[in-house]
Structure 1
Amino acid sequence: MRTGIFVGSFNPFTVGHDDIARRALALCDRLVIGVTADNVRKPDLKPAEERIRAIRELYADEPRIEVKPFSGLAVTFAKAENAHFIVKGVRNTSDFEYEREQAFANRFLSGIETILLFADPQFSTISSTMIREMEHFGADISKFIPHKKP
């Protein structure tokens, strides 16, 4: 069974994240979405339990996706889940440079490869930061948050 992990703070989990997760299923039999319980670069996280619950509800009908909390390094989580690779989404050149550096470090530390999936153009400008800012000012963010398919 090929396992991939997709990790992030997902604060909130966006339609772009959903697109990457669903596309990653074509590459593996099991996808574990790891939700960071803490992130030193993001002090304004909603509680991990709240983020995990929302993502689990979204994928309740998809048995190949598991959602779990994690803290620490992605490669440590990947090893614990017996993952074959790490999946990351890339929206632009800034994301690419950052993820390239992370991929090199992850491979050096663990031998685990990183697969970069490029964002669908319709999602390439969406970020959790942008959505949090919009929400703060009372904007309707529903079109940026994935909803369970009927």
Structure 2
Amino acid sequence: MKMVERIALYPGTFDPITNGHIDIITRAARLVDKLVIGVAVNVGKGPIFSLEERVELVQAEVAPVAAKAGITVEVHPFSTLLIDFARDVGAKMIVRGLRAVSDFDYEFQMAGMNYRLDSEIETVFLMATERHQFISSRFVKDIAAFGGDISSFVPQLTNEKTKAKLKGNA
């Protein structure tokens, strides 16, 4: 009997990708055979990186995770309803990271709505590890915009690209 490939989708804006995102991606990679990272358009959040730049940056930052986990990790942009994108990529699981209790209310409501839209796709919550619970892309952008050191919050390449982008050099 052939085993069904376990495919999960981890969606986000990833503007920029943080060490917290990498932590959730690393942990999700242990649970599935294939992980799709969906980079959302989400212009309402005022991204500093274009969609194409975010996809490229996420691809570069997750390549070592995929290699270490020995699974396929794909990165794709999307601008559709999340549940439709999950279906399109064959995901039966949506991975969401929780940093604090304040995240739970929104995530709980979104999981409920997604379940109503497609009860065959489960939402799985992974708690951020203690050292990453306070990191958010918004805070990283704010700190970087004022010249603060973000090197402990983001991977090295993302640090360099974010600083360059905010200086107008990217």
**Shared fold (TM-score, shorter chain, > 0.5):** yes
| Higher mean C-alpha displacement, 135-144 vs 59-68 | 59-68
TM-score w.r.t. the length of structure 1 is 0.92
Structure 1 counterpart of 2:60, one-letter code: E
1:36/1:70 contact within 8 Å kept:
yes
Q: Which residue of 2 aligns with 1:9?
A: 13
Structure 2 counterpart of 1:15, one-letter code: N
Residue 57 of structure 2 corresponds to residue 49 of structure 1: no
Q: Which residue of 2 aligns with 1:60?
A: 63
DSSP-derived class of the 2:152 partner: helix
DSSP-derived class of the 2:63 partner: coil
Tell me the distance in 1 between the aligned counterparts of 2:76 and 2:156. Answer: 19
Higher Rg: 2
Residue 94 of structure 2 corresponds to residue 92 of structure 1: no
Residue 117 of structure 2 corresponds to residue 114 of structure 1: no
- CA gap of 1:43–1:147, structure 2 versus 1, over 3 A, is closer
Tell me the distance in 2 between the aligned counterparts of 1:90 and 1:115. Answer: 10
2:95/2:125 contact within 8 Å kept:
yes
1:9/1:39 contact within 8 Å kept:
no
Q: How many residues align?
A: 147
Residue 59 of structure 2 corresponds to residue 81 of structure 1: no
List runs of 5+ in structure 1 lacking aligned partners. Answer: none
TM-score w.r.t. the length of structure 2 is 0.82
Tell me the distance in 2 between the aligned counterparts of 1:68 and 1:85. Answer: 16
Higher relative helix content? 2
CA offsets, 1:58-84, max 9 Å, x none? 223425211110012211110000101
- CA gap of 1:144–1:133, structure 2 versus 1, over 3 A, is same
2:14/2:58 contact within 8 Å kept:
no
Pick the aligned partner of 1:22 from 8, 19, 26: 26
List runs of 5+ in structure 2 lacking aligned partners. Answer: 158-170
Tell me the distance in 1 between the aligned counterparts of 2:109 and 2:62. Answer: 30
DSSP-derived class of the 1:19 partner: helix
| Higher mean C-alpha displacement, 75-84 vs 31-40 | 31-40
Alpha-carbon RMSD across the aligned residues, in angstroms, is 1.4
Tell me the distance in 2 between the aligned counterparts of 1:65 and 1:122. Answer: 24
CA-CA distance at 1:45 after TM superposition: 4.3
